[in-house]
Structures are given as structure tokens and as C-alpha cells.
Amino acid sequence: MNGPQVVTREAWLVARMKLLAQEREAAGVLADVGRARRALPMVRVDKEYVLEGPDGEVRLLDLFAGRGQLIVYHFMFDPAWDAGCKFCSYLVDNIGDLSHLHARNTTVAIVSRAPFTKIAAFRSRMGWNVPWYSAHGSDFNYDFHVTQDEAVAPVEYDYKDRASLLREGGEWQTVGEQAGLSVFVRRADTVFHTYSAYGEGTDLLLGSDNYLDLTPQGRPSPGAKGKWLRHHDRYES
């Protein structure tokens, strides 16, 4: 690979200080976005979703595990598949120790449409401890626009309808399983939806990509990532 240009320490410092100003400006923009995200209004969730976990049927409220905030990652795992999506697996690999989030009154859980037996087997294979639930037979995935099937619900992904997605070359986003995340809060036993993001909107959670951004080679492009990315137990030594 082609490396960075070789310069004197003095020339490097000039370039680094220029970049530092850009980094600080970008950090300010991200802080503004974070404040705007936290200030979003919320919508009451009136539908009683029934999901399946290791101990049987659970409600959306149960996914909070007694905490006040819930982040659900909509993991692409079609009922017909034998393994979950490798891109979603990459994201879950980056979640880390959940105790830090629990200390901030926040639960992270995964929801997929595959039957729980398949989820449990794949979760065990990957060695994850993130709570994972099945939405098989539930409207949950369709209502939060991560499973696309016009026979069940109008197509919508990343806040675009089917016509917009097709116009922009996103035909693949109009059918089947898609990735996303949704955030909920609870007030006593009432659940509210505060935020959802889809596709590249979930990149904030990809810690490995952020590490790679610090290097000259950087993170791979989305197209290139599809060529090398594997489930973490499928890389060759």
C-alpha cells in the first residue's frame, strides 16, 4: 500500500495542527447533533409486542430489564437463514462490556425475526452475552421498518418510501431484512419511542472502524468491506 508522504517533524506539526482545528470543529458539530438527538420528542408505544426470549414470551417492556432506557439493535436474521448477517455481527462484536451502560440506566438488546432456537445457537457460536430476542410472528420488525414486505406493511426504510428508494438506486432496501436501531424509554410501565436510525446511521456504533480511522489506511469503503468482512470465527489465521 502507498504510505503517507515523508516530511520533517516541523512540516508534520504544521499539518497536524491544521487537522487538529478540523477535528475540534467536527467535535463541536457532533456535540450539537447529540444535543438535538437528546431533545427529540417521543411517541407512546401503544401496541403490545410479544417477543420470545430464553424463558419464553416477553413484552417490549420486559426488554428494559428494570432500567429506564432501552437500545434495540435490529439484527438482520431472516427465519430462513442459518446464521445472522455478517455486517450486523461486526456491529455486535463492537458493543463491549454492558456493565458501563447498565450503570447509566441503559439496556442494550438485540431483536431479530429468526426463531429463538436459531438465535440461541448463533449467539452461542459467536460467544456474545448481549440479550437477544425473537420477533418471529410479531409486527415489531415491520412497524420499525427493518423488515420489508409489501404484503404485510408499506415499504419504508431510512425515512424513505419505496418510490424514493427505487429512484435513488436502493432497490435492495425494499425487500427483506434491513439493519437499524431504535431507542425507547419507559415511564413506569409505559414505553415511548425516542429515536431510530438505519443503514449508515448506525456507523456511530462501529468502534473498530473508528480505530481504523486513526490509521493511514483508514476504514474500508462499504463496498470493500463486503469483500473481506467475515464472522469473527471465519477468518483464516
For residues 8 and 6, give the distance between their C-alpha atoms in angstroms, rounded to a whole number.
Answer: 7
Sign of CA dihedral 54, 56, 57, 58: negative
The set of cell numbers assigned to 33 is 447533533
Determine contact, residues 165/125, Cβ cutoff 8 Å. Answer: no
Strand partners, 185: 69, 192
The set of cell numbers assigned to 233 is 470465527
> Digits of tens for pLDDT over the chain (237 positions)?
578 999 999 999 999 999 999 999 999 999 999 999 999 999 999 999 999 999 999 999 999 999 999 999 999 999 999 999 999 999 999 999 999 999 999 999 999 999 999 999 999 999 999 999 999 999 999 999 999 999 999 999 999 999 999 999 999 999 999 999 999 999 999 999 999 999 999 999 999 999 999 999 898 887 888 889 999 999 986
For residues 171 and 174, give the distance between their C-alpha atoms in angstroms, rounded to a whole number.
Answer: 5
pLDDT score for 1: 57
Q: Give residues with Cβ within 8 angstroms of 170, minimum separation 6.
A: 157, 160
DSSP code per residue over 174-220: GSEE--EEEEEEEETTEEEEEEEEEGGGGGGG-HHHHHHTTSSS-SP
Tell me which residue of 141, 126, 122, 39 sits closest to 82, measured CA to CA.
Answer: 122
DSSP code per residue over 128-166: --S-EEE-TTSSHHHHTTSEE-TTTS--EETTEEHHHHH
Determine contact, residues 72/109, Cβ cutoff 8 Å. Answer: yes
pLDDT score for 203: 92
pLDDT score for 18: 98
Tell me which residue of 181, 152, 179, 157 sits closest to 169, measured CA to CA.
Answer: 157
pLDDT score for 220: 84
